[in-house]
Structure 1
Amino acid sequence: MRVLADMIGNVPTADGEGSVPRSVAVVGAGITGLVAAYELRRRGVNVTLYEASGQAGGAIRTTHADGFLAEHGPNSFVTSPAVDTLLQQLDIEDDVVEANPGANRRYVVRDGGLLPFPLTPLAMLSTRLLSFKAKMRVLLEPLVRTRLQEGDESVASFVRRRLGREVLDYAVDPFISGIFAGDPETLSMAHAFPRVAELERRYGSLSKGLMAQRTQRPGAEPEGTDANKGHLMSSVPSRARLISFVDGMQTLTGALEASLAGTLRLGCPVRLVHRQDARWVVDAGQDGAAKSRLVDAVIMATPAHVLAAMELPAAMRKFAAPIERVEYPPVSTLTLGFRREDVSHPLDGFGVLIPASERRALLGALFSSSLFPGRAPDDCVTITCFVGGARQAERAREDTDLIVERVLLDLRQLLGVTGEPVFAKHVYWSRAIPQYTVGYQSVKDAADATELQNPGLYLSGNYRNGVSVGDCVASGQQVAERVAAYLAKAGL
Structure 2
Amino acid sequence: MNRVIILGGGISGLSTAWYLKKFSQRPLNISVIEKKGRVGGWIETYREEDLLFELGPRGFRPNGKGKETLNLVKDLGLQDELIYANARAKKRYLLHQGKLHSVPNGLFSLLTSSMFRPFIKTLFRERKIPQIPIDDETIADFFRRRFSQEILDLIIDPLVTGIFGGDPEKLSLSSCFPLLRDYELKQGSVMKGLFANNKLNPMTKASLCSFRKGMERLPIALSQKLQGLGVNIYFHSPVESIECKKEKVIVHLHDKSLETDILVSALPPKSLAVCYPSMADQLLEIESVTVAAVSIAYQGQQTEIRGYGFLVPSRENETILGVTFDSDVFPDQGRADLSRYTVMIGGHQVKKSKRAELVECALRQLDRHLGITMKPHATHVAIAREALPQYTLGARKRLESIENNLPPQFFLSGNGFYGLSINDCIFHGKELATKIVRLM
Q: Is the 8 A contact 2:110 2:117 kept in 1?
A: no
Q: Which residue of 2 aligns with 1:53?
A: 36
5+ residue gaps, structure 1: 1-20, 216-238, 488-492
Q: What TM-score do the two structures reach when normalised by structure 1?
A: 0.83
Q: Which residue of 1 aligns with 2:384?
A: 429
Task: Name which of 282, 286, 304 aligns with 1:322.
Answer: 282
1:442-461 equivalence runs, <5 A = 442-451=397-406, 454-461=407-414
Q: After superposition, give the CA deviation of every residue in 1:300-334 in whole Å (9 maximum; x if it has no partner).
A: 1111111221145x4xx2xx632332111110111
Q: Which residue of 1 aligns with 2:202?
A: none
Q: How many residues align?
A: 426
Task: Name which of 9, 12, 16 aligns with 1:36.
Answer: 16
Task: Name which of 120, 124, 138 aligns with 1:139.
Answer: 124
1:107 aligns with 2:93: yes
Q: Which residue of 2 aligns with 1:346?
A: 305
1:60-139 equivalence runs, <5 A = 60-79=43-62, 80-130=66-116, 132=118, 134-139=119-124
Structure 1 residue 51, shift from structure 2 partner: 0.8
Q: Which residue of 2 aligns with 1:225?
A: none
Task: Name which of 320, 341, 355 aligns with 1:362.
Answer: 320
1:14-25 equivalence runs, <5 A = 22-25=2-5
Q: What TM-score do the two structures reach when normalised by structure 2?
A: 0.92
Structure 1 residue 373, shift from structure 2 partner: 2.4
Task: Name which of 164, 168, 177 aligns with 1:193.
Answer: 177
Cα distance in 2, alignment partners of residues 38 and 384 from structure 1? 32
Q: After superposition, give the CA deviation of every residue in 1:412-464 in whole Å (9 maximum; x if it has no partner).
A: 1111102111110001111121111112123221232134xx11110111122
Structure 1 residue 384, shift from structure 2 partner: 0.9
Q: Is the 8 A contact 1:365 1:386 kept in 2?
A: yes
Q: After superposition, give the CA deviation of every residue in 1:80-105 in whole Å (9 maximum; x if it has no partner).
A: 33112211111111110011123211
Structure 1 residue 131, shift from structure 2 partner: 5.5
Cα distance in 2, alignment partners of residues 311 and 174 from structure 1? 36
Paired letter, 1:138: L
Secondary structure in 1 matching 2:221: helix
Q: After superposition, give the CA deviation of every residue in 1:365-393 in whole Å (9 maximum; x if it has no partner).
A: 111111112333222200011101xxx33
Q: Identical aligned pairs, as a percentage?
A: 29
Structure 1 residue 32, shift from structure 2 partner: 0.1
Structure 1 residue 257, shift from structure 2 partner: 1.5
Task: Name which of 301, 309, 316 aligns with 2:274.
Answer: 309
Q: Is the 8 A contact 1:51 1:267 kept in 2?
A: yes
Check 1:376–1:241 CA distance in 2 against 1; reply closer, same or farther (3 A cut). closer
Cα distance in 2, alignment partners of residues 205 and 411 from structure 1? 39
Structure 1 residue 214, shift from structure 2 partner: 5.8
Q: Is the 8 A contact 2:319 2:349 kept in 1?
A: no
Paired letter, 2:106: T
Structure 1 residue 196, shift from structure 2 partner: 0.8
Secondary structure in 1 matching 2:264: strand
Paired letter, 2:232: T
Q: Which residue of 1 aligns with 2:155?
A: 171
Q: Which has the larger radius of gyration?
A: 1
Check 1:241–1:45 CA distance in 2 against 1; reply closer, same or farther (3 A cut). farther
Q: After superposition, give the CA deviation of every residue in 1:88-127 in whole Å (9 maximum; x if it has no partner).
A: 1111111100111232111111111111112222222221
Q: Is the 8 A contact 1:130 1:170 kept in 2?
A: no
Paired letter, 2:54: E
Secondary structure in 2 matching 1:432: strand
Secondary structure in 1 matching 2:217: helix
Task: Name which of 198, 205, 209 aligns with 2:193.
Answer: 209
5+ residue gaps, structure 2: 200-204
Secondary structure in 2 matching 1:59: coil
Cα distance in 1, alignment partners of residues 213 and 77 from structure 2? 15
Secondary structure in 2 matching 1:135: helix
1:288-307 equivalence runs, <5 A = 289=255, 291-307=256-272
User: Which 10-residue stretch deviates more, 186-195 or 33-42?
Assistant: 33-42
Paired letter, 1:145: P
Q: Which residue of 2 aligns with 1:267?
A: 236
Q: Is the 8 A contact 2:9 2:34 kept in 1?
A: yes
